[in-house]
Amino acid sequence: MLLAFFKPYGVLTQFTPDQPGQKTLADFGFPPRVYPLGRLDMDSEGLLLLSDEAGMNSKLLDPTAAHPRTYLAEVEGIPTAEALATLRRGGIDLKGHRTLPCKASLREAAPDLPPRDPPVRFRKSIPTAWLELTLTEGKNRQVRRMTAAVGFPTLRLVRVTIGKLELGGMEPGTWRELDTRERELIWKK
């Protein structure tokens, strides 16, 4: 079984809480024995896959497979052409790990996403912009650390695709089982 889940903001990507009262995957009524394929930190939202199939995690997350994942990041400030070029080029030092090249572009308009609860803080004097980033690796808080390294901290982060499977019109906190066609989309680059 392979499930797509729109992980909401503030949910820990595991089934047991680290602290009392913490929201986890256990709060969403998943079938028994499924486990998350990869992670999204508590502050991130979007497409998360879960499965009960052995070996799916290593198959999907092995860096040698160069499996693409696309994120939309609302950042503080308006990224410069130089900042975008640095993101694309890769080689950003994240505590001993050098990032691989990625796709990075400035979006002309904000994406059509459900509102976040709680909303992102608003500051009248500081503009925000949306970036679209496609990575083939997934280190801890990587997108956030990359955008901060080029001077534009991430305020909101949403994973919108894994392979060619899109989050689409799902709402935060909802999940569904993938059909055969959707499963094939995950492996496409």
Supply the residues annotated as catalytic.
41
In which residue are the tokens 């979006």 written?
107
Q: Say whether 134 sits in a helix, a strand or coil.
A: strand
Q: Is the peptide bond before 118 cis (omega within 30 degrees of 0)?
A: yes
Q: How many residues does this entry show for the chain? A: 189
C-alpha–C-alpha distance, residues 134 and 67, integer Å: 10
C-alpha–C-alpha distance, residues 131 and 74, integer Å: 6
For the beta carbon of residue 162, count every other beta carbon within 10 angstroms: 23
Specify the amino acid at residue 181: R
Residue 178 and residue 85 in contact, taking contact as beta carbons nearer than 8 Å: no
